[in-house]
Structure 1
Amino acid sequence: MASEYGLKRHFNGEAARLIGGRIRAAHPGFDVDGYAAEVERRVPGKELKDRVLVLAEGLRTRLPADYPAALPRLLTVLGDELAEGEGMFNASWYLMPVARFVEEYGLGHPEPSLDAIEEITRRHTGEYAIRPYLEQHHAQTMRRVTAWALSPSHNVRRLASEGVRPRLPWARTLGVFVKDPRPVLEVLEPLRSDPSEYVRKSVANNLNDISKDNPQQALDTALRWLEQSPTPETAWIVKHGLRTLVKNGDQQALAVLGATGGEHVRVPRLSVTPGELTVGETVLVEFDVENTDTRAHSVTVDYVVHHVRKNGRSIPKVFKLTTLELAPGERRSLRKPHPVKEVQTRSYYPGEHRVDIQVNGLVKATGRFGLRT
């Protein structure tokens, strides 16, 4: 998914001209120049969601005051349905204000609004627009979501999953599903072996959301899916859907994925070099893993960097490394260069950073490197 910073720059007067021009092509009276000027005046200093709202507000004041009459005019901007692999933030990014329009102004007319969300999601996404409808028109919206999960359109099936994610990024948390994820799992049931990668990614992310608040229900569902749908598609969904539990060392999740025998694996050698560096340099993590058992084991190997925060405390971050099949008594050497560079979601602060080697979620060895300012 594109970053919020990268997206927000596109929502300006030119975006208003693009949307307004498409409306005017079908309805010649639309004020494109006034719309673009208003947006250009109001968006500076605003972040992504507020910029998108500005464009939606400008549409509301220039379309018919009667929402059911305004909606068909607005939907004239929709193009052809996106094919598999066409990103909604590439080909149809400009439709975000259209979806926001339905989100903000359509709650008094749920049936035509849900129809509109279905049409929008074929060209973009309705995962954010649908959430207030789930809160204010829950039963009606869930009936539509359940039907969407059976749609021949991969975009609509994906909305069925993505729209009900309990903890969708950039969106309000759906507390009703955090408390009880069973309705969400019912929606996901026909999607557990979906042929579309686009849909499968959403199902896996949804299962991962559920695992954060209801781990046992996520695990039970994953195990049942693997038993009832022994397909590569289901296996992929389960692997990615349990990723947070695996990162946290949940032994049941690891067992579901076939990782066994972590207690029989040791790390007799660990090297973290250099011992001291600055931001922008790379630390090299080298170590051996050894299976001390008389049976072979499949193990998941990760490393954890405990990042020092501004207040001096440390927060662990798990980095996926590899999955190994270790024969009885086998010893394997692994190495991983780890760049110590700031990213949008992480800043570095000076101090001693601990590095743990995890095998099936169990810490087997610990090293350290110092970070200078």
Structure 2
Amino acid sequence: MPDESHPPQLKDWFDEARYHAIARELAQIAPKFDAKTFLKLVLDGLADRTLMQRVHQCAVAVAAALPGTYQQKVRLLQKLAPKIGHEFVTIFLGDFVATFGGEDFDFSLEALRFFTVFGSSEFAVRPFIVADQARALKTLEQWTNDPDEKVRRLASEGSRPRLPWGMRLTALVRDPAPTAAILEALKDDESLSVRRSVANHLNDITKDHPDFVLQRLEAWDLERAHLRWIARQACRTLIKRGHPRALKLFGFGKKAEVVATLNASPPRLALGERLTLAAAITSTSSHAQRLAIDYVIHYVKASGASAEKVFKWTELDLPARASLELVKTQVVRDFTTRKHYPGEHRVDLQINGQRMAAAVFVLKQAPAQR
């Protein structure tokens, strides 16, 4: 039976059983494959490695255990790719190319195009963009016409300036213009996954160059549903931040004519308990209003200061003089990206980018461990 006290983690995608399965497949593909060397390299120190360290160590071990030149090893790995059966695990093939293929630029990019069909090469293509941005982006732009949607998605996802878990593309953070042609070519793509990547790419850019993105979105025909969806997703960070130009683009540009209250309950809670927010909003306008409603929690930091995080609540049309009540609940718990500390937490109600009401709750000190 599984050990419920130690639930599976993402890094367990690369566990001992997985490595043995990879070794068996490679032994069938390449009779001179050194399974003993491979397994020693991946299994020694396995418990202490993170997920991405396990990905990389698998690539290193393959390089040591497979015979032949770099290109010969890639061709063997191309035979392995369809046999792995797990899209994330297959990422180690791209890592192999990124680690050992820098001197064989064009061959390596073609290998990444092949591997991305089985498991995305979005992390692996980034060192090639850093090494020769113009050359790499020229190839990625060609990929926007590829018949496989996963290759087209790679053109956008691989060149995102701030891809989560991926190498930051500092030059594109400074100047996003070189990827504009890729995004323009893909904005009407038939695949939702490709269009979602375009939206996320644009959202990355808004964090450093909001006007660059907004100028382009304002030129789009946002009456077309798929373009409006991309634009809305691309501006999600700006809307949460109350950016006036982004709010205006989606009809939230006017200051809300409302009176509002916000209540947080229970007033005191422990980590792991559920917080309930209740908002009451009444229009003071003689006209209907389009409202983007968010809430902002000011989390207490270890230093005693606070850091705010904006959460999406809803978007709606409020008729003239109408009233409404909204309720939102969420469990207050720790994540890998956020640790909670005891103390008074303020919550703001944000409507069309303006803070309209506030409430507080106290997160109690966790009991001392015995």
Aligned to 2:59: 56
Secondary structure class of the residue paired with 2:14 = coil
2:25 to 22, 25, 43: 22
Displacement, 1:65? Answer: 4.7
Aligned to 2:187: 192
Secondary structure class of the residue paired with 1:224 = coil
Question: 155-164 or 249-258: which moved more?
Answer: 249-258
Aligned to 1:85: none
Secondary structure class of the residue paired with 2:256 = helix
Displacement, 1:123? Answer: 1.0
1:106 aligns with 2:101: yes
Give TM-score, length-normalised by structure 1.
0.91
Q: Output the amino acid matched with 2:28.
A: A
Secondary structure class of the residue paired with 1:9 = helix
Matching of residues 64-79 of structure 1 within 5 Å: 64-79=67-82
Matching of residues 37-52 of structure 1 within 5 Å: 37-52=40-55
How far, CA to CA, are the matches of 2:313 and 2:100 in structure 1?
A: 47
Aligned to 2:271: 279
How far, CA to CA, are the matches of 1:283 and 1:69 in structure 2?
A: 57
1:258 aligns with 2:251: yes
Aligned to 2:4: none
2:292 to 300, 308, 316: 300
* Per-residue deviation, residues 94-136 of structure 1 (Å, max 9, x unmatched): 2122111000000000111011000011111111111111111
Structure 1 segments unaligned to the other structure (5+ residues) = 81-87
Displacement, 1:138? Answer: 2.2
* Per-residue deviation, residues 174-210 of structure 1 (Å, max 9, x unmatched): 1111111111121100211222121122111100000
Displacement, 1:368? Answer: 0.5
| CA distance 1:185–1:6, change in 2 (3 Å) | farther
Displacement, 1:272? Answer: 1.6
1:222 aligns with 2:217: yes
Question: 106-115 or 138-147: which moved more?
Answer: 138-147
How far, CA to CA, are the matches of 1:241 and 1:254 in structure 2?
A: 12
Q: Output the amino acid matched with 1:337.
A: T
| CA distance 1:69–1:283, change in 2 (3 Å) | closer
Displacement, 1:275? Answer: 1.5
Displacement, 1:260? Answer: 3.9
Is contact 1:24-1:32 (8 Å) kept? yes
Is contact 2:262-2:359 (8 Å) kept? yes
Displacement, 1:155? Answer: 0.2
How far, CA to CA, are the matches of 1:292 and 1:260 in structure 2?
A: 17
Aligned to 2:262: 270
Aligned to 2:357: 365
How far, CA to CA, are the matches of 1:172 and 1:135 in structure 2?
A: 9
Is contact 1:289-1:331 (8 Å) kept? yes
How far, CA to CA, are the matches of 1:224 and 1:179 in structure 2?
A: 23
How far, CA to CA, are the matches of 2:281 and 2:189 in structure 1?
A: 37
Is contact 1:166-1:174 (8 Å) kept? yes
1:162 aligns with 2:157: yes
1:232 aligns with 2:225: yes
| Alignment root-mean-square deviation, CA | 1.8
How far, CA to CA, are the matches of 1:138 and 1:283 in structure 2?
A: 47
How far, CA to CA, are the matches of 1:275 and 1:49 in structure 2?
A: 41
Q: Output the amino acid matched with 1:239.
A: R
Matched positions, count = 358
Q: Quote the sequence identity (%).
A: 34
Question: 166-175 or 20-29: which moved more?
Answer: 20-29
How far, CA to CA, are the matches of 1:298 and 1:127 in structure 2?
A: 38
Is contact 2:293-2:314 (8 Å) kept? yes
Is contact 1:194-1:200 (8 Å) kept? yes
How far, CA to CA, are the matches of 2:208 and 2:119 in structure 1?
A: 29
Displacement, 1:172? Answer: 1.7
Aligned to 1:83: none
Aligned to 2:301: 309
Is contact 2:144-2:151 (8 Å) kept? yes
Is contact 2:268-2:361 (8 Å) kept? yes
Question: 97-106 or 193-202: which moved more?
Answer: 193-202
| CA distance 1:291–1:193, change in 2 (3 Å) | farther
Secondary structure class of the residue paired with 1:189 = helix
Displacement, 1:54? Answer: 1.3
Displacement, 1:49? Answer: 1.9
Structure 2 segments unaligned to the other structure (5+ residues) = 1-7, 366-370
Is contact 2:32-2:67 (8 Å) kept? no
Matching of residues 127-146 of structure 1 within 5 Å: 127-146=122-141
Secondary structure class of the residue paired with 1:123 = coil
Displacement, 1:26? Answer: 2.3
Q: Output the amino acid matched with 2:48.
A: G
Is contact 2:113-2:151 (8 Å) kept? yes
1:352 aligns with 2:344: yes
Q: Output the amino acid matched with 1:159.
A: L
Q: Output the amino acid matched with 1:121.
A: T
How far, CA to CA, are the matches of 2:37 and 2:262 in structure 1?
A: 65
1:211 aligns with 2:206: yes
Matching of residues 77-116 of structure 1 within 5 Å: 77-79=80-82, 91-116=86-111
How far, CA to CA, are the matches of 2:240 and 2:348 in structure 1?
A: 12
1:329 aligns with 2:311: no
Question: 60-69 or 104-113: which moved more?
Answer: 60-69
